[in-house]
Structure 1
Amino acid sequence: MEEWMSIEASIVSVEKVKRELSPFILPQEYIDEESNEKIGSGSYGTITKIKYCGTPCAAKELHSALLPDDESEISHGENESMYLVNEFCKEIKILSKIHHPNFVRFIGIYFKDSSPYPLLVMELMYKSLEQCLMQYRHDSPESQKLPVSTKLFILQDVARAVAYIHCQNPPIVHRDLTVKNVLLTFSMTAKVADLGVAKYLTKPLSTQCPGTVIYMPPEALKKHPHYGTEVDVYSYGVLGFHVFSGKWPLQHGLHKDDGSAFTDLERCHADEIGEGFCVRETLKKCLHVDPKQRLKSCEILAQIDVETARYKIEDDNFLEIQYNARNTRAMQQTMDEMARGLELKENLSRDCNWKKLKPQALKT
């Protein structure tokens, strides 16, 4: 009897998930999983390549190893499996409310016939910032290095994304801002991804921060943590030094040969920032040990905007030319859409006027 009740409760939980996510469900007939190519992984899911309405997209699915094989194996309703499903649903709901060009665009969800769990469909990106930094290594020949101005554009894009979620009501804390979770388009536009561990900040968070340890501030690594949006500011500082030094930060807790601990700046390779000296002071302020002394995300964006505008774009730099061309194309596309909208409105107005005049014209 108890076993039957637990199975019944689990089915109710799954049906509840489907009801809550019903506004985001995509028509199954427009989903093509023919390639089903695995292209990456997130906090607790795998990313595969699919097509929606013929357009290549990315689909995020919960790791199958973390879920039971069928609904009848989900017991007690709120066990670990259902907890993961509920967290996944929270990520979907947060993503659905984010509309910003520097966040990976949410498209919708769908359910496989063989599984009661949703798949999250997003725009398909070119590569991660981590892959980009590995491709353009800091120790590569000069001709194969990532240009400084391109790095500034990337930091500017990420700063815009962080400022956007921190300005929401209530604010959203990403909690895992790293080079792995910043994705790039073909034209090198940076977009933040993976909100699997993001939280709405209604009060200071006191749970263990599940992000990447080497990107975490001291207050988030304590036994009894207490943190807010400042955790993303610190991670942004680490990310900035990572981008300009080309090296992963040193693992927290490691010590030097003489037994002394690394400072936060040493851990982030501040002495190796090289050509990123123009943003060094901004990034250092993000790493202040006292969260209250760190910059706000909007202040970071303002300072990065100034440095990006000040930095001269090299004439022979293909990436910058491509970046500017992308902006020009986007502006032209917007203008074209406005023109089409006005033309459509004008035609519609003309048709309406003709319908009003037609009976009178026929009498005449």
Structure 2
Amino acid sequence: MSANENNIDNELKAQLTETNKIGSGQFGSVYRVTKDHSKYALKEIQLTVTKEQLNENEKKYLRELSIMKELKNSHVVGYVMSWTTPTVIYIMMELCECDLNVLIESMTAIFKCADNVEPNHFEYFVSYHIFHEIAQGVHYIHTQTPPVMHRDLTPPNILMASDGSLKLGDFGLAKVRDKRSMTNTGGNETYIAPEVSESTSNHHYNELCDMYSLVWRYQMKVTRKGSQLRIPNESDSQRITGLRNIMNKLIHRKPNSRPDSVELLKMLSKIDKIDDKKIE
């Protein structure tokens, strides 16, 4: 790195105030920082080797950085800036201090959700709104040229901004789809699609793997298992029945039998137009 780049790095760090650590992991830390009177999240990734000899985890963060720079949408965590030193990668982004796990825990308390008790229609409305917002974020990344696969749509990676909107975050496992599609695995085993876990050099997959992952944060039975949103099991509501039918299509084992993100938003739009007075 040149002396000029080092000067820029020092100048940027000097502008940061309120550098409070809000999280840490094996490869670095996340801070809440203030720059020019605005609050941001700053991810600090420690490099164990030179950039020419990056290990796989460090390559993951550089990949996240390159993808985040290109994504600009209200349903994706906003990229602000980044810089590097010989030993550290810094990524500054929009501050989101709540994830989907926290939101679900709050819903459990607010709606007094209990295991083995059918979720009520208020819980359904909130769950549907959350699903719709996440679907819009997935639609945005899938309709990029070329499409971006997130590959890690887990509750900790669905974040809530200060205005209450939901955003896709943590693009460390994301990939830009090439003409050959993907063969390597990635993501949390609880959420990944069958074609990803079964991936081999002769077995390819594409962004439809994300469509499968959309559903597994929802529990379509009565009993909740961990951080899951619930959809009523038995209902004469056309909206609820329609949403359950969509979710059943999304978890089809054959990728080409699942709706893509464009089809999904069209299906949800039809549900929005249903005059279902029984649940109003």
**TM-score > 0.5, shorter chain as reference:** yes
Structure with larger Rg:
1
Aligned to 1:188: 164
Distance 1:101 1:245, change over 3 A: farther
Partner amino acid for 2:21?
E
Structure 2 residue 143 is matched with structure 1 residue 159 = no
Contact 2:81 2:93 in 1 (8 A): yes
**Partner of residue 227, structure 1:** 205
The aligned residue for residue 353 of structure 1 is: none
* Whole-angstrom CA distance in 1 between matches of 2:107 and 2:276: 21
Kept in 2: contact 1:44–1:196 (CA 8 A): no
The equivalent residue for 1:343 is: none
> Which among 69, 73, 78 is matched to residue 100 of structure 1?
73
Per the TM alignment, residue 169 of structure 1 is displaced from its structure 2 partner at its CA by 1.1
Separation (CA, whole Å) in 1 of partners of 2:275 and 2:170: 31
TM-score (norm. length: structure 1): 0.62
Q: Distance in 2 between matches of 1:205 and 1:130?
A: 29
Residue of structure 2 aligned with 1:135, choices 101, 106, 110: 106
Structure 2 partner of 1:85: 58
Q: Residue type of the partner of 2:164?
A: M
Query: How high is the sequence identity, in percent, across the aligned residues?
Result: 20
Partner of 1:211: 187
- Higher share in strand: 2
Choose from 99, 116, 119 the match for 2:90: 119
Q: Which residue of 1 aligns with 2:154?
A: 178
- Which one of 245, 264, 268 corresponds to residue 281 of structure 1? 245
**Equivalent residue of 2:108, what SS?**
coil
When residues 56 and 126 of structure 1 are mapped into structure 2, their CA distance, relative to the original with a 3 A threshold, is same
Q: RCO greater where, 1 or 2, for CA within 8 Å and sep 6 or more? A: 2
Q: In the superposition, relative to structure 1, how do residues 152 and 241 fare at CA in structure 2: closer, same or farther (>3 Å)?
A: same
Closer, same or farther in 2 for the Cα pair 1:76/1:191, shift >3 Å? closer
Q: Which amino acid aligns with 2:165?
A: T
Deviates more, 1:219-228 or 1:278-287: 219-228
SS of 1:161's partner is helix
1:240 deviates by: 4.0
**Deviation at residue 78 of structure 1 after TM alignment:** 2.1
- 1:110 is displaced (CA, Å) by 3.8
Q: For residues 279 and 59 of structure 1, what CA distance do their matches in structure 2 show? A: 37
SS in 1 for 2:249: helix
**CA–CA separation in structure 2 for the residues paired with 1:201 and 1:177:** 16
| 2:124 equivalent in structure 1 | 148
| 2:184/2:199 contact within 8 Å kept | no
Moved over 6 A (4+): 23-26, 242-245, 268-271
CA displacement at 1:310 relative to structure 2: 4.0
Does residue 46 (structure 1) correspond to residue 29 (structure 2)? The answer is yes
Q: Name the TM-score, length of structure 2 as normaliser.
A: 0.78
For 1:182, give the aligned amino acid: I
Gaps of 5+ in 1: 1-14, 69-73, 251-267, 314-364
Change (3 A) 1:298 1:25: farther
1:55-102, Cα deviation, whole Å (9 max, x unpaired): 11111122x4xx43xxxxx3794252xx43333222112111111110
Larger helix percent: 1
Partner SS state of residue 217, structure 2:
helix
Distance in 2, Cα, partners of 1:135 & 1:174: 26
The 8 Å contact of residues 109 and 118 in structure 1, kept in 2 or not, is answered as: yes
Q: Secondary structure at the match of 2:34?
A: strand
Task: State yes or no: 1:56 paired with 2:39.
Answer: yes
Q: Which ranges in structure 2 are unaligned for 5 or more consecutive residues?
A: 114-118
Q: Give the alignment partner of residue 20 of structure 2, picking from 23, 28, 36.
A: 36
CA distance in 2, matches of 1:244, 1:311: 26
Offset of residue 111 of structure 1: 4.7
Say if 2:221 is the partner of 1:239. Answer: no
Q: Distance in 2 between matches of 1:76 and 1:55?
A: 31
Distance change >3 Å, CA 241–CA 303, structure 1 → 2: farther
